[in-house]
């Protein structure tokens, strides 16, 4: 006969009776309208909870999240609740606490958003109010396979990066629209080396946001929701703006128009024909704190000959031209 070690028997009794005591305690607390709540790992639900807990509670520990942002961790308490918060190896948060139903409902209420309205100006003025100068921005690039990809972060020093020639006007108009709508789509045409891609860095600098330079919706598995979600995992704050570059959109649209986008049997492709492109563009308005920059070496007038609906007004907020190559003082170009 198999003998069970005595310490296992003792451990079993302790586990059973300790859980019994906990359950009994919870039953008693319910008589006083105090309940145990567990918050699932849902970004939209967790965001207001954490922000309110950080403001109103004292905690035992401070955690450094994936995006190198300090946040509360461990045990936390206030006159209205007591609980525990922890992060797993993937950066997902787990929250459990004891409180009343009324206070729980308060914690999970969506945060009120304030939308600043600004009229679009023709003056190339970038910021309407003084702000702290941003010296570094987070730049995200996609790596990995279609099935298993990730976005790696690099900090870029943008202290000396300033608008050149027509870039200032583009940045100014984009920021004005972004402040009004909380999202913006920009089309920039011009020859190579004219500074089209660098506009993204300039906007990210002005907004103290993140910049993604490798997004391609015609690549299998590369979805806008996936890119935004993975980048927000790094930033750990949905209110930080994200600037996303879609480079050489003219070549991309030609493949879409002629049904030449290569599909993958195992991984779906977000955009591969005109209907999927239309759906992608029409859904942009539902993304908050996102700026999409489409660059093209081909004039918009030529793309409109394929189909004017691809880049029609409403889908694109700002259309602009950078028609002169931009060079640095040392002879290298900014492109």
Q: What is the pLDDT of residues 57-77, one digit of tens each?
A: 888 877 766 555 677 788 888
User: CB under 8 Å to 43, separation ≥6 — which residues?
Assistant: 229, 232, 238
- Check if CATH label 3.40.50.300 holds for domain 136-321: yes
Cα–Cα distance for residue pair 129/147, rounded to 1 Å = 44
CB 322 within 8 A of CB 194: yes
Cα–Cα distance for residue pair 74/96, rounded to 1 Å = 11
The fraction of the chain above a pLDDT of 90, given in percent, is 32
CA 77 to chain centre: 30
Q: How many CA atoms lie within 13 A of 46 on its CB side?
A: 20
Which residue, among 296, 252, 244, has the nearest Cα to 271 in the 3D structure? 252
CB 277 within 8 A of CB 270: no
CA distances from 308 to 32, 87, 258, 272 (A): 65, 48, 15, 18
Q: Kindly report which listed range (17-21, 184-188, 298-302) carries the lowest average pLDDT score.
A: 17-21
CA distances from 137 to 112, 153, 210 (A): 27, 10, 6
Q: What predicted TM-score, i.e. pTM, was given to this entire model?
A: 0.66
For the chain, give every residue range classified as CATH 3.40.50.300.
Answer: 136-321
pLDDT for residue 119:
37
Query: Residue 324 — very low, low, confident or very high, per pLDDT cuts 50/70/90?
Result: confident
Mean pLDDT taken over the chain: 81
pLDDT for residue 133:
61
pLDDT digits (tens, 9 = 90+) for 127-136: 444 455 668 8
Query: Residue 291 — very low, low, confident or very high, per pLDDT cuts 50/70/90?
Result: very high
CA distances from 293 to 202, 234, 282, 289, 327 (A): 12, 21, 15, 13, 21
Taking residues 211-235, what's their average pLDDT? 88
Where does residue 140 rank: exposed (0-12), middle (13-18), buried (19+ CB within 10 A)? buried
Cα–Cα distance for residue pair 214/222, rounded to 1 Å = 10
The gap between the terminal CA atoms of the chain, to the nearest Å, is: 78
Cα–Cα distance for residue pair 103/286, rounded to 1 Å = 30
Cα–Cα distance for residue pair 219/210, rounded to 1 Å = 21
CA distances from 313 to 21, 174, 210, 331 (A): 65, 15, 26, 37
Q: Kindly report which listed range (26-30, 137-141, 306-310, 329-333) carries the lowest average pLDDT score.
A: 329-333
Between residues 238 and 312, the one the model is more confident about: 312
pLDDT digits (tens, 9 = 90+) for 79-110: 888 888 887 766 678 888 889 888 888 888 87
């Amino acid at each position: 006969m198999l003998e069970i070690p005595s310490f296992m028997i003792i451990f079993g009794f302790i586990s059973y009776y300790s859980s019994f005591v906990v359950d009994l305690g919870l039953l008693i607390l319910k008589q006083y309208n105090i309940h145990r709540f567990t918050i699932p790992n849902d970004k939209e639900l967790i965001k207001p909870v954490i922000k309110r807990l950080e403001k109103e509670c004292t905690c035992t520990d401070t955690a450094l999240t994936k995006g190198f942002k300090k946040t509360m961790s461990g045990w936390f308490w206030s006159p209205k609740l007591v609980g525990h918060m922890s992060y797993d190896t993937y950066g997902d948060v787990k929250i459990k606490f004891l409180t009343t139903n009324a206070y729980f409902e308060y914690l999970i209420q969506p945060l009120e958003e304030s939308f600043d309205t600004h009229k679009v100006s023709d003056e190339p003025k970038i910021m309407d109010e003084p702000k702290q100068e941003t010296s570094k921005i987070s730049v995200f690039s996609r790596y990995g396979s279609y099935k298993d990809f990730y976005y790696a972060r690099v900090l870029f020093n943008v202290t000396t990066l300033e608008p050149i020639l027509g870039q200032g006007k583009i940045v100014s108009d984009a920021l004005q629209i972004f402040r009004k709508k909380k999202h913006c789509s920009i089309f920039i045409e011009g020859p190579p080396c004219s500074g089209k891609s660098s506009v993204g860095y300039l906007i990210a600098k002005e907004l103290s946001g993140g910049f993604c330079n490798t997004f391609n919706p015609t690549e299998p598995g590369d979805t806008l929701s996936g890119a935004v979600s993975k980048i927000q995992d790094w930033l750990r704050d949905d209110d930080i703006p994200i600037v996303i570059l879609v480079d050489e959109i003219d070549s991309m649209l030609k493949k879409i128009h002629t049904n030449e986008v290569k599909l993958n049997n195992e991984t779906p492709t977000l955009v591969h024909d005109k209907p999927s492109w239309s759906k992608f563009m029409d859904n942009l308005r539902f993304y908050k704190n996102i700026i999409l920059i489409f660059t093209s070496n081909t004039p918009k007038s030529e793309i409109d000959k394929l189909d004017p609906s691809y880049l029609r007004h409403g889908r694109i907020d700002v259309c602009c031209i950078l028609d002169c190559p931009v060079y640095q003082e040392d002879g290298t170009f900014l492109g």
